[in-house]
Structure 1
Amino acid sequence: MSHGHEKRQGMQGFDPDYVDIVDYIIRCTHKIWEERNVGLIYSHYAHNVLIHTTDGITYGRDKVIADSIKTMAAFPDVRLFGDDVIWSGNDREGFHSSHRIMWVAHNTGYSIYGPPTGRRVTRFGIAHCYVKENRVVEEWIARDELALIRQLGFDEFELARRMVERDYAAGIKSPVPVGTGEVDRLLGQTTPEAIPEKGASFDPENFIRRFFQEVWNWRMFGKLNEYFVPNYMGRVPTNRELYGLGDLSAYITQLIAAFPDARILVDHICYLGDETEGYRLAVRWTMQGTHQGPGYLGEPRGKRVNLMGISHFIIKNGKILREWTTYDEFALLKQTLWPV
């Protein structure tokens, strides 16, 4: 972490000790979590900040502070290791940052899931922030919550049912309201819309949009070798490590099998790099679908779901080498269990 004061980019409106947006993201995270200065949230988050997760949207800085303290009480020795920050923007219009984090702790206090287990846990996550003048104005958080719950030793189905019953009895509305329209992956009986290549030179945003459209939405799994190197490596939820196109194909088809009408919509992309050195991309996306097929979520229950995810990719010579994708499978499970 940098502690210098020589600015590496324009940071108007930010605290003077931050030299660029990466420094801001890494060091304010350290100050709040590892130095235990939770009160810095007052000067680093907007009073009316919006926090998006697959569980829904929360509003206001006080909720951020309360949730942070609950987590610290449950995991007092928590360490957040920042692996990468991919960003775009400037200090006039605001910055978008996508912060990939590995979270390590021991559960020695009461958590939102139950009594302390004493177990050591790791949790992978990515936080996408919109930051302006030293404050996070809006944040999208995708965390591997199911991996955490399994490491704590809880049964995810029993826990999910208990939490859904509690929230339903308290009058909390379903994350996906009854009466939503169909998933518009197709227009009637037509084929999915094609995204043409853009120009002669490599365009990383066009490339990644075509990948999601052709492989995920069009189900052209045979095109994986057009987008990925043969020795591709990926990390996906519940600490699964993928190696090669066979693992990747199995992962994609198993998720679509559980949600046969699934469609992924790309919500935001930012990237760094060039064609010579390669690109680092951050992609925030939403999957819509209906739980109609077999899978790790158990018996199909016919529930409509919305899932927010964030992916980081490394692209070199026109193909994806590495991928880190995370989303909250426990929140997804709760959506499938929600009473109609």
Structure 2
Amino acid sequence: MAKAKNPTDIPADDVDLTLHSKGDLAHLLSTDGHTEPAMRGFAPKFHDIVDYIVKITHEIWEERGIGRLYDYYGTNMRIHTSNGEIYSREKVIEATIQSLAAFPNRRLYADEVIWAGDDEKGYFSSHRLTHEGHNWGHSSYGPPTGRRVSYRAIADCAVVEGVIVEEWLVRDELSLVYQLGFDVHEMARQMAQQETDIGQQFTVPAEPDRLRGQLPPEAAPADSEAFDVGQFVKRAIHEVWNWRLLNKVGDYYIPQFICESASGRRLYGRNQYRNYILSLLSPFPDAAVSVDHFCALRDGPNRYRTATRWTMTGTHTGPGIYGTPTGKQIRIMGISHHLVENGKFIQEWTLFDEFALLKQLYKPT
């Protein structure tokens, strides 16, 4: 990434991860022939968790029913982001108003919803979507630019009886800032200076939890006899990212693999994917990736759509796309959606907030 004008009340882990069979999103707004009873605690107009997620997103953002957040979000809910936490429903309403004021014609297009759960344990959803609109109002970046933007986000939600109790949000803010016409490095530096969150100021330094002292990383669990898609995804991430076994990319990914990643990256094939991994490991040689949550949908005997939320920690001690090493520690949350077929990754959609990462690097010491 050049420095010149730049292009970039149940925890979810307790939700049942049983695989469910769903088609694509074509069924979302179709209610013909629907006879199933409403889910417990949900309004009758919602036919399943996918229908719920897509419809409330449309109602709040595109119909401007901001006050419906009182119906759909818990009073003391939290939204986790790489920039920190938003706590309480009122803060969510405040942020929604500000965002719509900045982009009054904003549209949110549902690209995918991967889910798990039931009425007893609650539901978990991972919603990949595309934001589009024009910057016709003031935003945290400054006065209106009039520019049109299009960027992706993924929101993981824990939902209990029709109420979202916790959310994990990742958006491609670097692409947003760049499309508004700003230098992303200068904007990150300015915003890092302005953000003086006490929790960031007094973060306790620590080594990323990847190695066991001077010993190598823990080995991944042995394969089970039957194919287990959760084990497959977690093993691939651990071996490739934590063990640095880039030769294993050939075992896990098809030759024609396609990946859409943060800041507009689009990768074709295994060699580009290996180079992408190296470009992120070089600046953070001690980087460690931990899987925080996983769920999957089965589309057929050998085909799955998966959602994996993860955290990467590391220390900026190496050269690379983020410039001269700063020695700063970083921690970013990411979410990856995969298409897995016949025991291989076919396609990947990954997001992490690269702008939040830059702000951590530019944070005053």
Pick the TM interval, shorter chain: over 0.9
Tell me the secondary structure at the aligned position of residue 238 of structure 1. helix
Instruction: Compute the displacement of 1:108 (Å).
Output: 1.1
Tell me the secondary structure at the aligned position of residue 50 of structure 2. helix
Q: Which residue of 1 aligns with 2:40?
A: 12
Matched ranges for 1:182-261 at <5 A: 182-261=207-286
Q: Which amino acid aligns with 1:314?
A: L
Runs of 4+ more than 6 Å apart:
none
In the superposition, the TM-score normalised over structure 1's length comes to: 0.96
Aligned-partner Cα distance in 1 for 2:202–2:311: 16
Instruction: Compute the displacement of 1:9 (Å).
Output: 6.8
Corresponding residue to 1:2 among 29, 34, 40: 29
Compared CA separation, residues 153 and 299, structure 1 to 2 (3 A): same
Q: Over residues 129-183 of structure 1, what are the superposed CA-to-partner deviations in whole Å (9 max), with x where a residue is unaligned? A: 0001111100000111001101111111211121122222xxx225374423211
Q: Over residues 240-291 of structure 1, what are the superposed CA-to-partner deviations in whole Å (9 max), with x where a residue is unaligned? A: 1110011101111100101110000000000010662500000000001011
Deviates more, 1:226-235 or 1:149-158: 149-158
Deviates more, 1:113-122 or 1:220-229: 113-122
Aligned-partner Cα distance in 2 for 1:9–1:298: 56
Question: Does the CA contact (< 8 Å) of 1:121 and 1:148 recur in 2?
Answer: yes
1:159 maps onto 2:184 in alignment: no
Matched ranges for 1:1-340 at <5 A: 1-2=28-29, 4=31, 6=34, 8=36, 11-168=39-196, 172-175=197-200, 177-273=202-298, 276-340=301-365
Question: Does the CA contact (< 8 Å) of 1:275 and 1:317 recur in 2?
Answer: no
Deviates more, 1:311-320 or 1:84-93: 84-93
Tell me the secondary structure at the aligned position of residue 258 of structure 1. coil
Compared CA separation, residues 166 and 33, structure 1 to 2 (3 A): same
Q: Which amino acid aligns with 2:109?
A: F
Compared CA separation, residues 17 and 252, structure 1 to 2 (3 A): same
Q: Over residues 52-93 of structure 1, what are the superposed CA-to-partner deviations in whole Å (9 max), with x where a residue is unaligned? A: 000111200011111111111111111111011000001221
Aligned-partner Cα distance in 1 for 2:200–2:222: 36
Aligned-partner Cα distance in 2 for 1:177–1:218: 31
Instruction: Compute the displacement of 1:8 (Å).
Output: 4.4
Tell me the secondary structure at the aligned position of residue 234 of structure 2. helix
Deviates more, 1:9-18 or 1:203-212: 9-18
Aligned CA RMSD, in angstroms, stands at: 1.5
Compared CA separation, residues 165 and 315, structure 1 to 2 (3 A): same
Q: Which amino acid aligns with 2:186?
A: E
Tell me the secondary structure at the aligned position of residue 13 of structure 1. coil
Deviates more, 1:217-226 or 1:295-304: 295-304
Instruction: Compute the displacement of 1:118 (Å).
Output: 1.1
Aligned-partner Cα distance in 2 for 1:179–1:121: 37
Aligned-partner Cα distance in 2 for 1:7–1:14: 15
Instruction: Compute the displacement of 1:2 (Å).
Output: 2.4
Aligned-partner Cα distance in 2 for 1:7–1:29: 24
Q: Which amino acid aligns with 2:68?
A: L
Question: Does the CA contact (< 8 Å) of 2:38 and 2:44 recur in 1?
Answer: no
Q: Which amino acid aligns with 2:264?
A: N
In the superposition, the TM-score normalised over structure 2's length comes to: 0.89
Q: Which amino acid aligns with 1:287?
A: M
Question: Does the CA contact (< 8 Å) of 2:336 and 2:351 recur in 1?
Answer: yes
Q: Which amino acid aligns with 2:195?
A: D
Does 1 or 2 have the higher relative contact order (CA < 8 Å, sep 6+)? 2
Question: Does the CA contact (< 8 Å) of 1:142 and 1:326 recur in 2?
Answer: yes
Aligned-partner Cα distance in 2 for 1:250–1:29: 36
Instruction: Compute the displacement of 1:16 (Å).
Output: 1.3
